[in-house]
Amino acid sequence: MLDLVSPFSGKISVLIRYCLIAKKLEGCGKNLYIGRGVALKSIGKIVVGDNVSIHESCYIDAVGGLRIGSNVSIAHQTSILTFNHTWADPNLPIKYNPIELSPVEIDDDVWIGCGVRVMPGIVIGKRAVVAAGSVVTRDVPPATVVAGVPAKVIKRLV
């Protein structure tokens, strides 16, 4: 896991975080911003497009695979998960049961508000907006605004 907790927030710190991360990602476009305190698990399974910002204190576990398109903004304290726990074997404690991998895909031109939870297996369509505090449990159609727990379409964009 790469945990980018840093007491520094200046341009030099941003550059250092970029240099540390860009080489470890499966794929990395141009102009990636990573804020302070971002935790990235399974970083080698993440593909990032151009002009992506992942703001402070986000938690991303990409063990199941994660693709982030271009022109995407992920606001602070967002969590993205790519696996589910199972409980199929009653002879094992739940915590020791196997996990199910489910990749997440975030298409181009997406804005994810602060404190959002994106659950495993989700596709967020192009030009979508996810309102702050939402829990995304279903795919998000392109050109929509979703909000709530669970997130539901509240508006269609032009």
DSSP output for 18-67: HHHHHTTSSEE-S-EEE-TTEEEESGGGEEE-SSEEE-TT-EEE-TT-EE
Active site residue: 85, 152, 155, 156, which one?
85
Q: Round to whole Å and give the CA distance between 130 and 111.
A: 6
**Does 85 qualify as catalytic in the annotation?**
yes
Q: Round to whole Å and give the CA distance between 95 and 66.
A: 23
Question: 132 forms bridges with which residues in the sheet?
Answer: none
> Hey, which residues are catalytic here?
85
